[in-house]
Amino acid sequence: MENHIPLQPMTAEEFPENTALPEGVREVRWQDTFGYGVALAYGVVYAQRGDKPLHLHYLTPRNDRRDNPLIVYIQGSAWYQQDLCIHLPEMIRMCQRGYCVALVEYRPSTTAPFPAQCEDVKTAIRFLRSDAEHYRFDPERVAVWGDSSGGHTALMAGFTGDHCLNHPEDPDMSAEVRCIVDWYGPTVVSEMLYEPSLFEHTSPDCPEGWLIGHLPVHENLELAAATVPQSYVTADRPTPPTLIMHGSRDMTVNFQQSIHLYEKLRQLGKEVEFIKLLGADHGFRGFSCEEALNEVDTFLKKHL
């Protein structure tokens, strides 16, 4: 006990640094680049559609705030059953930057065609907003973000808000969002083959065919037209600011799909940013990088 140092009241800044350096020991200077730690609530049931529960995974930054901004993230899946964890690494990075993140499941088009996916996302927003204190976010600072079919669904949910395409059993709670991020989402499904693609986009068994009820797209243009997100945008109704990001070598959803959206929003005088990622393909090939997340972070900080 005689060598014990008595406890001394001191701050963290006053605590002494050990200066010992035995032979062969390397010193490394550190810099905290990860930000906050992250807590994960896995498989939260936010709604029941018949006998199917709908889930979300919820990420919370380990900070002391209860007014964090919220990202509602919609994982792309060609509107089929999602794997909600595909972009979990990127969402953890966003959570470390101070955002709460909800990764939201929607009903697959093979069991529930359009507009079920849009309805489900807005149900999730209302579910979370109804208990914002528990989920530690500011209910006035909500963004919706998705990739591929999730990007399409994010646009649909953000553009329609409380105006239309709401599930009849939803609570009396707003699903409006402050801004939208669309990563390479399809926007005009009847024109998916107007540019080069490696995939079929017109038959009943293709993703677009399932989206409209397992029907051939070009024989059901009225149904296809109802899935066009920008058709729900009007000059006289507020539209959330929108960030579009699309790769120049997307082999699944052609780049022209984002041009359609961008030009329509500009024509109507809406606030929109469009970033073309040179050489990037669809999904991970170009978007799983700090540069892409930095662009989103800058946009979200501007609008949330």
- Computed over its alpha carbons, how large is the radius of gyration of the chain? 22
DSSP labels, 26-72: PP------S-S-EEEEEEEEEEEETTEEEEEEEEEESSS-S-EEEEE
Cα gap 74→84, rounded to integer Å:
8
Mean pLDDT computed over 270-297: 94
> pLDDT confidence of 245, banded at 50, 70, 90?
very high
Q: Is position 177 within any domain?
A: yes
Cα gap 205→234, rounded to integer Å:
32
Q: What is the pLDDT of residue 1?
A: 62
* pLDDT, tens digit (0-9, with 9 covering 90-100), for 78-121: 999 999 999 999 999 999 999 999 999 999 999 999 999 999 99
Q: Is position 30 within any domain?
A: no
Q: Is position 26 within any domain?
A: no
Cα gap 195→184, rounded to integer Å:
14
Reading the block at residue 291, the tokens are 């540069």
Q: Is position 13 within any domain?
A: no
Cα gap 37→148, rounded to integer Å:
28
DSSP state of 230: G
Q: What is the pLDDT of residue 102?
A: 99
Q: What is the pLDDT of residue 75?
A: 98
CATH value at residue 100: 3.40.50.1820
Q: What is the pLDDT of residue 5?
A: 80
Cα gap 34→94, rounded to integer Å:
10
Q: What is the pLDDT of residue 60?
A: 98
Q: Is position 2 within any domain?
A: no
Strands 242-247 and 52-61, sheet pairing: unpaired
Q: What is the pLDDT of residue 104?
A: 99
* pLDDT, tens digit (0-9, with 9 covering 90-100), for 113-165: 999 999 999 999 999 999 999 999 999 999 999 999 999 999 999 999 999 99
Q: What is the pLDDT of residue 15?
A: 87
Residue ranges making up the domain that contains 231: 39-303
Angle, CA of 191, 175 and 52, to the nearest 5°: 75
Burial grade of 171 (CB within 10 A; 0-12, 13-18, 19 or more):
exposed
Mean pLDDT computed over 48-57: 98
The pTM assigned to this predicted structure is 0.92
Q: Is position 32 within any domain?
A: no
Burial grade of 284 (CB within 10 A; 0-12, 13-18, 19 or more):
middle
Q: Looking at the 3D structure of the chain, how many domains does it have?
A: 1
Q: Is position 236 within any domain?
A: yes
Q: Is position 12 within any domain?
A: no
